[in-house]
Amino acid sequence: MTPANDNAPRLMTPKEAATATSLSRPLLTLLAAEGEFPKPIQLTERRIAFVRAEVESWIDARIAGRAA
């Protein structure tokens, strides 16, 4: 888990979220629409971003849920 004071931006672009999860941007959009991935926030009419803590929690849950 990332420390709270790591100075990382609170938001991440769809490209950063895709890189962090190793999933494609279209797949992240589909998963978010189905409620399987954190929903992005609308910053402007044409710009969205994901909340970094939510994406990191999603990743942590996948790691914790793997078979041993």
Answer whether residue 4 shows pLDDT above 90.
no
pLDDT digits (tens, 9 = 90+) for 19-64: 999 999 999 999 999 999 999 999 999 999 999 999 999 999 999 9
Structure tokens, 7: 């100075």
Can you tell me the mean pLDDT for 2-12?
Answer: 77
Q: In this structure, is residue 8 part of a structural domain? A: no
43 is in which domain, residue-wise?
A: 15-64
Instruction: Report d(CA 56, CA 38) in Å as an integer.
Output: 10
Q: In this structure, is residue 55 part of a structural domain? A: yes
Q: In this structure, is residue 29 part of a structural domain? A: yes
Q: Residue 36's CB: how many other CB atoms inside 10 A?
A: 11
Instruction: Report the number of distinct structural domains present in the chain.
Output: 1
Q: In this structure, is residue 20 part of a structural domain? A: yes
Quick one: pLDDT at residue 13? 97
Q: In this structure, is residue 6 part of a structural domain? A: no
Quick one: pLDDT at residue 3? 56
Q: In this structure, is residue 32 part of a structural domain? A: yes
Instruction: Give the 3-state secondary structure of residue 52.
Output: helix
Q: Is the four-CA dihedral 35, 41, 42, 47 of positive or negative sign? A: negative
Instruction: Give the 3-state secondary structure of residue 27.
Output: helix
